[in-house]
Amino acid sequence: MLHFEKLLLTITLAVRVTASVTNVVPPALKGAWNDPSNYLVLEGTLTDTESITNTIAIVDQKSGAIGEPNQPVPDTAITAVDGQLTAAGSSRTSNATARRELWKRSPGIHARAPSDYELVFGGTGVGLQARDASIQGTAYLTFTLVNNATYNVEDCLNFCDQVDKCVFANLYYEYNNDALDHRETSNLKCAVYADVHSAAEKTNFGGQQLEAPPAGLTYIQQSSGWSAKSLVEPTAPDGYELTYGPTGGANNSPGYMGFAFLDRYDVDACAQECNKRGADGNGGACQYFNIWRAVVNGDPTTYSCSMYFVVSDESTAVNYGQGDLKVTFARGYQRKNYVVDGGFEGLPCSDFCYKDSYSNWVGTSPVGGNLDASIFHYQPYAHAGNGVGLLGSASGLDTLSGTLSPAQPLQTQSGKNYVINFFHASAFSGPLEANAVLEVLWNNVVVYTIHPGYSNWQFYSVPVIGQGNDVLAFRGGAAPAWSFIDDVAVFLSY
């Protein structure tokens, strides 16, 4: 038996069909969408593990200590993007350019004593025949010279302790280098890295003619490696939350947007890649990234940053590597959405229902209006999932515009930059959508207006500045020019 209010609505609509909605069954009566063809499609959007694996096989980002000592640590470099190598990933360089940040004590790390390190490999001695090699490895940071009156392990480890992200130090003598022997007065090098390396990566034997003959070629002796006994858990980037990790499995999940390789394990750099990745027309902005270290034949090779428009978790972290490639230190980070239930999925319903408000969203109609802002639970209307917001009289009884707003102010901060992301569609009633309009309000001020006319689902992004406890709202719709809104997010921006 029909509920009395729904029965009354049905009778009213049968009698009162205005000219503006002629031949259009309104949303409240399960009217059919004119062209529901571009809802979210996840088929074919799984992680492109083949492209990532193939690029790992050709990237070359190993380096070591050359040039001048005590250089500032460079910013993290991008060595490949979506299968294409950058200059930083295609040749053996020391990353001696683009240095912007001085080396400094790692934030959140207390001073470590030499006892907080352990010997990974020792040197071959300093006899005439005791030739050795220094590390050529990933995540090189910088180097210094320590007093060579003794084999000065303590000063080298103290230096590592002061360099941001340093977890490994390679200490060795370099001979026949005029700059070290005369100008610097020490030939004992301490090269530091943001990753741990093994003796198998001692591949730099010298061999350069850096002093005038009859001096010989450069050579290395007594090359030892020291690693911090414990690795520091990275702090979640601003605007992100850890979803899983570290584990030995990378995500193989839908919503994949591409990947970048980093020259060191840097969650902040990966977050920046996610933030600036162009929006996907199907799924919207990047809101999740998966960072992991690729180890090939036992040696760190690169640091993969995969990006997604769908949030994932450890349940899809099933890529453990292939052949000689092993996935290590895999972590997933979700972009923090300051809008609670931006997909309108919280409306309690099993099949089809609609309301002007519920616990997470509030719809407001102007005086004389009837359901001019509402929330529907009905999959055929949604961009993704089952929930969707509607502006314009759901019953088609007026041509007034309504307002939808989150039930509570957003937990934002004053002075921070944010971006409002959402999908919008005005295609329900075909040509009658010509006058569709939507306004985005931030603290009761219109910050963006669209006049889409007839338009299927499209992604929009609006930058704003927070005042703290900000109020977001959407206003528009004028039946039969209805506006549907879905997948609303407010992210921290940079």
pLDDT tens column, 278-302: 999 999 999 999 999 999 999 999 9
Which residues does 324 contact at the CB level (< 8 Å), separation at least 6? 296, 297
Model confidence band, residue 36 (pLDDT cutoffs 50, 70, 90):
confident
pLDDT tens figures, 298-354? 999 999 999 999 999 999 999 999 999 999 999 999 999 999 999 999 998 989 999
pTM of the complete model: 0.89
Would you state the pLDDT for residue 181?
A: 66
Beta strands in 59-213, from DSSP E residues, in sequence order? 73-74, 78-81, 84-85, 99-101, 117-121, 134-135, 140-145, 168-175, 188-193, 202-204
CA atoms within 13 A on the CB side of 67: 15
Q: Give me the CATH topology for the region 20-40+340-492.
A: Jelly Rolls (2.60.120)
pLDDT tens figures, 228-281? 988 889 999 999 999 999 999 999 999 999 999 999 999 999 999 999 999 999
Task: Supply the DSSP string of 152-163, one letter for each residue.
Answer: -HHHHHHHHHHS
Beta pairing, strands 299-308 & 73-74: unpaired
Query: Shortest CA distance to 316 belongs to which of 244, 261, 400, 388?
Result: 244
Mean pLDDT computed over 135-154:
96
Model confidence band, residue 35 (pLDDT cutoffs 50, 70, 90):
confident
Query: Shortest CA distance to 40 belongs to which of 346, 382, 426, 377?
Result: 382
Which residues does 437 contact at the CB level (< 8 Å), separation at least 6? 401, 449, 450, 451, 452, 476, 478, 481, 483
CB atoms inside a 10 Å sphere around CB 439: 17
Which residues does 476 contact at the CB level (< 8 Å), separation at least 6? 391, 392, 401, 402, 436, 437, 438, 439, 483
74: cis peptide before it, omega within 30°?
no
Query: Shortest CA distance to 330 belongs to which of 298, 305, 309?
Result: 305
* CA distances (Å), origin 423, targets 27, 335, 394: 18, 17, 19
pLDDT score of 7 more than 70: no
Across all residues in the chain, what is the average pLDDT? 90
Whole-number CA gyration radius for the chain: 30
The rounded distance, in Å, linking the Cα atoms of 274 and 335 is 9
pLDDT score of 375 more than 50: yes
Would you state the pLDDT for residue 357?
A: 97
The rounded distance, in Å, linking the Cα atoms of 246 and 262 is 17
Would you state the pLDDT for residue 182?
A: 66
The rounded distance, in Å, linking the Cα atoms of 386 and 344 is 8
Query: Which secondary structure element, helix H or strand E, spans residue 54, and what is its range?
Result: helix 49-56
Judge whether 96 and 87 are in contact, CB under 8 Å. no
Would you state the pLDDT for residue 113?
A: 57
Judge whether 72 and 102 are in contact, CB under 8 Å. yes
Query: Per the structure block, which two tokens stand in for 448?
Result: 């963006």
Query: Per the structure block, which two tokens stand in for 66?
Result: 């050359």
Q: How far from each other are the two terminal CA atoms of the chain, in whole angstroms?
A: 55
Would you state the pLDDT for residue 159?
A: 96
Beta pairing, strands 353-355 & 299-308: unpaired
The rounded distance, in Å, linking the Cα atoms of 258 and 247 is 21
pLDDT score of 451 more than 90: yes
Range with the poorest average pLDDT among 51-65, 168-182, 227-241, 349-363: 168-182
Query: Shortest CA distance to 187 belongs to which of 225, 141, 149?
Result: 149
Would you state the pLDDT for residue 107?
A: 39
With vertex at residue 447, the alpha carbon angle to CA 442 and CA 451, rounded to the nearest 5 degrees, is 125
CB atoms inside a 10 Å sphere around CB 105: 13
